[in-house]
Every structure is written in structure tokens, then in C-alpha cells.
Chain A
Amino acid sequence: MIQVEALRFSYPRSKNEAVSGIDFTVGPGEVFGFLGPSGAGKSTTQKILLGSLRGYSGHASVSGVESSKANGAYRAAIGAAFEFPCFYQKLSGLENLELFASFYPGPKDDPLPLLERLGLADAANRRVGEYSKGMKMRLNLARAVIHRPRALFLDEPTSGLDPANARVVRDIVRERAADGAAVFLTTHDMAAADATCDRVAFLVDGRIAACDAPDALKRRYGKRAVVVDRSGEPDGARAEFPLDGLADDEAFRAELRKPGVLGVRTLDSSLDGIFLRLTGKELA
């Protein structure tokens, strides 16, 4: 559905490549997380796939159509939610939704139930200028999905949302994927990526440093060991015990018998930890 091969792009008057030869595919029904720090090339890749940036080398296509040849039919198959929600401030949420939906051919979702699902039914007739950031973010998702796109591009869809609304957004994203949409999700939020994505790619300085299912990455980069947390003991002083043969590990059992045990925890890797390990960079 979404296919990228040997994609390279440099902005005019820039010496460095924003995207340096990346490859990935996103199949129908798949949620693909594109993770990385600011300036890594995430937005550039998304702009290319949306057909907004040309002049790249390699291939970037949606449903087999090269994005440099993006036309009305190409854009009709795509839904996009930008990081900063952009609406007509003097139109209501419902008016905005109906206006943008009118640009797309084919069947569409009924806007009112969609707004209700996103907790915006009561605000449907209020001007968007009066909406909070969280409300605009939810309206942003509604606009991206209302025309039932086959490829969905979401940039930080849960940014600024409380946990309950973030969950609704993640549920809708998963439902659209279950209906066959290919979802390309750009985010800094590792927890959201872990909870939503089938696969994730870590993008650093325009290159993909790792790409796999979150669980597979955590297994690959995690440590099969436990530590015993004890009150007053610094992190570095804690002994690690391998998970294999833990039940018969005398040293581990002796550690548990000592006073002041606060708890036992595994040394699973997190997506945050994997990112730090791969890149040495903090996510921003």
C-alpha cells in the first residue's frame, strides 16, 4: 500500500540530506510507527508521501502510484492529520468537517456520530477558534478519517490529549487499520507507538536505524535478567540475575533473604531505551 525504496531528499540550499536512502513498506491493515527526534526526517518523508514535496530520488508510492505524480485520485485515497491542527477558526467544527469532506469523492462517515465518538458532539456547532488544543486534535483525526482513506498519515495524533481521549484516538486508528487502511504514524510518544503500532522504524539523521515489531525489538535489545530493588541502594550497586535458571539461583535467593527488599523487576527494554541505545539521542 505505502512503499518507500531508496528514498533520498535534500532541501534547496542545504548541504545535508534530510532523508538518506530509506526503505520501508506499510501493508493494508498495518499501523506503522515512524519514530525519531525532531529534525530526523519524519516530516519530510510524510510530505513526500503526501505528494507535497517533489524532487526526491528513489521511490515513494501509495497504492502503486508514485507520489511525484500525485493527482486528485492519489490524494482522495489519503487521509492526513497534521501535527498542528489547522482549521478555519471562524467556522464550527461541523462546518469544517463538512467542508473538507466535500472535497473527497465516494462514501463518507456521518460527521455527527464521528464527532460524538470523539467527545465533540456538544461542541459541533461551536467555532473552532473556541476549541482547546485537545479538541482540535480530535477534530483533526475526524477530518483525516471521515472519507475512509486507504492510507492514513497521522502526525502526533495523541499529542495534548488526556489518557481517556488518547485511548479513543488509538482505538479509532486500530479500527481503521482493521478495516484495511495502511496507517503511517509519526510520533515522539513511545508508549503510544508501543500500544498502537504493528511495526516501528527508528529514524535518525535521515536513516532508519532499526525497524521491526515493538515486541521483537524489545526482545532483541532487552536483557533477560532481573534486579532486586532495596531501600537506600544506588542503581549501580544492584546485582543482576539471569532469567534462565532463576529459580535455582542461590545468589538470587540469598539476595531476597536480605532485609529492605522493595521489589523485583525485569530488565525488559522499552522503546525509549532502544532508541537511546541505537542513537545516543534523547527523544524530543
Chain B
Amino acid sequence: MNSRSLVANDFRLLWRHGFAIAYIVVAALYAAVLSALPRAWADAALPVLAWSDPAFFCFFFAGASVCLDLSQGTFRALFASPLRPAAYMVAKALNLGLLSFVMAAAVSASSRGSDFRLWPLAAAAIAGGAPAAVLGAVAALRLRSVNRFMIGSVPLFLLLALPAAEYAAGPYLPAWFSALARLTPADGSLRFARAAYSAVPWTDLAAGAASAVAWTAGASALALGPAVRAARGD
């Protein structure tokens, strides 16, 4: 199987289905909102906006993309071929992660010029995009349609959102909430997003990377594999 062709074709599908355009529209909205805020507020909001690109968009767009494969029947044809579910998922996560990174970088540049670091944004895209895309795909495979996915995936969405709540209101929340937020799939991504604009201890970043790897590997092995097998048999 030609991996480059798989990634290129997946990107072509994201483009033709309007996912890439949606990223551009949201990036423009984010930039407009940031430009309207006082500088201190914009600086505080920027890490969350940069983090939300991989955490939320990869989750929803990976799920919507899988729902499209299910509704068009292409899922069945794809997995009657030698294509491995892992390769299918990596292609989706790579493209969505790349779009998230470009979007986060563009929004950051619109707000701070060149006063931010690119590599933590790239790391945030990977650390958030990979687990979020896997979880989005699992939810879509279990829920089977866009409508059911939009409603049924809300609990997972809230789980992904916990680190943002902790970032925004941590001092006012109970200790157990902060501890719980640190265990969620997108926590690692937020640590890297913060590191794009300010200093974050390397131990925090290492813990974030480990969390993202653990969530991606665990969700792939424990949830994605069984979901693909169940959908194959339908």
C-alpha cells in the first residue's frame, strides 16, 4: 500500500467535503475575536484557541469523516481491501493534525506576529489531534450516523474540554477537578499549546506527551479495533 497516496487522497477528500474550508473559516473567526480583545485577554485566550484546533476539530472532523465513509458505504469497501484500520486512522489524524497546526499558527501570527514558538504548536497538534481523532472515529463507528454522532458524542466532547475549564478557572475549582482534568486525553495538548507562548517546565511537557501517547495507544487498541471489527460485519 502506498502511504503517501493514502494521505494525499484523504486530504483531497477533506478538501472536497469542505472540512479544510471549515478550518479556514474558523481560523478567520478566531483571528477576528482575538483582534477585538485587549492584549492581556487575547494572550490568555490564545493557548485555549490553539489547543481547541486539534482537540475539538480533530475529534469532530474525524468522526464526521468516518460517518461519511459509513453513509457512502465506502467503509465496507475500504476494509474489504488490505488497508489496515491503523493506516486509515493515521492518515486522517495526520491531515487533521496538519490543518490544526496551520490554523493555530495562522491565528497566533494574527495576534502576536512572530512572538510565539512553532514547535510546541506542532507538538500540541500531534498530542491533541491523535487521541481526539481516534476517539472521534470510535464514537462515529459506534453511533453510525452524523446526527447520532453529534448528539451521542457530547460526553466525550465534555471529557476533552475539561483541561480548558481547568485552565480558565483552576484556582476556583476543587482539587479533584484539576486532578481529573490532568488525566483526560487532551491535557497533554494544552500543555504544549501553553508552551508556544510562555515557559512551561519540561517535566510538564514530558507528562503531557506520555499522556497523549497512552491515550492514543489505549483508545486504538481497546476501542478502535473492536469498533472497526463490529462495523465490518454490518
Contacts and interface: CB of A to CB of B under 8 A. Distances in A.
A129 to B, nearest CB: 10
Given A102-B2, A102-B5, A103-B81, 5 more contacts: A52-B76, A54-B233, A75-B80, A87-B74, A102-B6
A74 to B, nearest CB: 8
Interface of B, helix, strand, loop or mixed by DSSP: helix
A104 B73 contact: no
Given A52-B232, A102-B5, A105-B1, A89 B80 contact: no
A100 B1 contact: no
Nearest to B73: A86
Given A72-B84, A87-B72, A88-B72, A100 B16 contact: no
A77 to B, nearest CB: 9
Nearest to B232: A52
Nearest to A78: B80
Interface of B: 1-2, 5-6, 9, 12-13, 16-17, 72-74, 76-84, 229, 232-233
26 contacts: A50-B80, A52-B80, A52-B233, A53-B232, A72-B84, A73-B82, A75-B82, A76-B82, A80-B77, A80-B80, A82-B73, A82-B77, A84-B73, A86-B74, A86-B77, A87-B72, A87-B74, A90-B16, A91-B12, A95-B9, A99-B9, A100-B81, A102-B6, A102-B9, A103-B6, A103-B78
A90 B78 CA distance: 16
Contact of B82 (A47, A52, A87, A103): A103
Interface in A93-112: 95, 99-100, 102-105
Contacts, number: 70
A59 interface: no
Interface in A103-126: 103-105
Contacts of A80: 77, 80
B17 A75 contact: no
Contacts of B13: 88, 90-91
